């Protein structure tokens, strides 16, 4: 009977105590009052997981040629870019020359075109400086916006699927800036789509290592000028550096600095064929593997119609810094137009930049403004200095015809 079981007071319970710690589980057992208690220890299981948002990034360049001709559209009217895909969704840019709510400002929107979709995304709009070819950030979202086309009925209902800036920039400021040259405006839009969370299991004790700050530390080394052992005199300006760093980054610097005989540890090298501002930017790239902000590159000796990237490409070629050449090539490819493409092609041929050369030839061959290209000052120089290029150019044009 149950009562009989309840009356047996001499039997000890099977388990006296259960103790749980972070690292182990200890169980004490005993069979009788006279038996010795035995200790059994088992390792505890410790697990950990991490949730991270997955993203997809993309960028689109929208070139508006004949900017002044679009200004007659009126308030609330827009021109749009071609479609582009980011994160598996289709997008476009809408540009309102006379604004959405005020004709004093231009308006810019990023619009989701994919139907029946909900997408969270960040956006950043930039304008390209026509004198340097470098983009500058104008407006960006501080938090992700929700683009929703699930309930869109009217395709013209911008607010149902687009986010942007009614007062993106004053019209007068754009027209007085270097962003607008030869009636041409170039805009870039960076889109970051949030695709959803991803949960991963990790091991206890795993330490997340932050991104490398090596380039930042080397940049500080250049600025501080501590223990420098070589001096450059560039058209009257003096720059101090570390020969070990220069030699590690450039085979030309290595041969120049360690191939010198009979010089002391404070070698002074004179450079006459590079502008001081360009050489300073070159040193910045040597130490940090990145270019400084365009506003930090001194432009006193550079005409406003000249492209900083062309001077940097020449310097990169001189010191055999291939990655810097490719960075300059990428920038120059983005800034090609009818007036500069011929001169850029001659530069690419002279400095053996195959990717830039290819981009220029394709631009000229596929352009509907060949007459404008032929009228540019660089075209006549191209015919004289680089006659072999014309064979590739016309063969390309023939294939596209």
Chain center to CA of 235? 33
Q: Which of 352, 337, 272, 285 has its CA nearest to residue 66?
A: 337
Tell me what pLDDT residue 210 has: 86
Question: Can you say whether the dihedral through the CA atoms of 217, 282, 295, 301 is positive or negative?
Answer: positive
pTM of the model as a whole: 0.53
Tell me if 174 sits within 8 A of 106, measured CB to CB.
yes
Report how far residue 351's alpha carbon sits from residue 341's, in angstroms, rounded to the nearest whole number.
15
Residues 6+ apart with CB under 8 A from 65: 183, 184
Report how far residue 289's alpha carbon sits from residue 287's, in angstroms, rounded to the nearest whole number.
6
Report residue 386 as tokens: 């680089």
pLDDT in tens, 64-109: 999 988 887 888 899 999 999 999 999 999 999 999 888 899 999 9
H or E, element range at 137? strand 135-140
Tell me if 283 sits within 8 A of 262, measured CB to CB.
no
H or E, element range at 243? helix 243-249
Residue 87 CA neighbour count, 13 Å, CB half: 23
The mean pLDDT values, 10 residues at a time, for the chain of 401 residues are 35 39 44 48 67 88 91 87 94 93 92 92 93 88 90 50 91 93 93 85 72 90 91 92 94 86 64 92 94 71 66 95 94 87 88 89 75 76 71 59 50
Tell me what pLDDT residue 349 has: 87
Report how far residue 311's alpha carbon sits from residue 294's, in angstroms, rounded to the nearest whole number.
13
Residues 6+ apart with CB under 8 A from 153: none
DSSP string, 172-241: HHHHTSTTEETTEEEEEEEEEEEEEEEEEEE-TT--PPPPP-HHHHHHHHHHHTTT--EEEEETTEEEEE
């Amino acid at each position: 009977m149950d009562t009989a079981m309840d009356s047996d007071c001499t039997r000890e319970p099977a388990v006296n105590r259960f103790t749980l710690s972070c690292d182990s589980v200890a169980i004490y057992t005993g069979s009788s009052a006279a038996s010795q208690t035995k200790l059994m220890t088992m390792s505890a299981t410790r697990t950990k997981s991490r949730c991270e948002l997955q993203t997809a990034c993309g960028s689109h360049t929208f070139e508006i040629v004949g900017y002044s001709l679009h200004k007659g559209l009126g308030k609330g009217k827009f021109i749009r870019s071609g479609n582009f895909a980011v994160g598996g969704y289709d997008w476009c840019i809408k540009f309102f020359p006379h604004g959405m709510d005020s004709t004093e400002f231009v308006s810019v929107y990023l619009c989701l075109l994919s139907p029946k979709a909900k997408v969270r995304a960040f956006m950043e709009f930039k304008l390209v400086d026509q004198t340097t070819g470098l983009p500058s950030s104008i407006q960006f979202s501080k938090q992700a916006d929700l683009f929703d086309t699930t309930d869109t009925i009217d395709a013209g209902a911008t607010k149902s699927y687009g986010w942007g800036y009614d007062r993106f920039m004053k019209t007068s400021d754009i027209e007085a800036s270097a962003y607008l040259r030869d009636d041409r405006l170039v805009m870039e839009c960076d889109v970051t789509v949030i695709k959803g969370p991803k949960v991963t299991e990790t091991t206890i004790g795993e330490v997340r290592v932050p991104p490398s700050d090596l380039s930042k530390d080397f940049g500080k080394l250049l600025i501080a000028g501590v223990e420098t052992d070589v001096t450059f005199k560039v058209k009257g300006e003096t720059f101090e550096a570390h020969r070990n760093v220069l030699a590690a980054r450039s085979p030309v610097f290595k041969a120049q600095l360690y191939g010198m005989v009979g010089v002391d540890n404070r070698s002074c090298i004179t450079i006459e064929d590079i502008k001081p501002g360009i050489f300073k930017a070159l040193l910045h790239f040597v130490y940090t593997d990145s270019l400084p902000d365009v506003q930090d590159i001194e432009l006193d000796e550079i005409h406003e119609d000249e492209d900083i990237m062309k001077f940097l490409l020449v310097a990169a070629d001189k010191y055999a810094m291939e990655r810097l050449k490719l960075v300059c090539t990428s920038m120059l490819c983005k800034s090609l137009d009818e007036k500069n493409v011929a001169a850029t092609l001659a530069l690419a041929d002279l400095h053996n930049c195959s990717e830039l050369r290819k981009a220029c030839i394709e631009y000229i061959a596929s352009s509907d403004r060949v007459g404008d290209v032929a009228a540019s000052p660089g075209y006549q120089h191209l015919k004289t200095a680089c006659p072999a290029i014309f064979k590739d150019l016309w063969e390309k044009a023939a294939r596209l015809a």
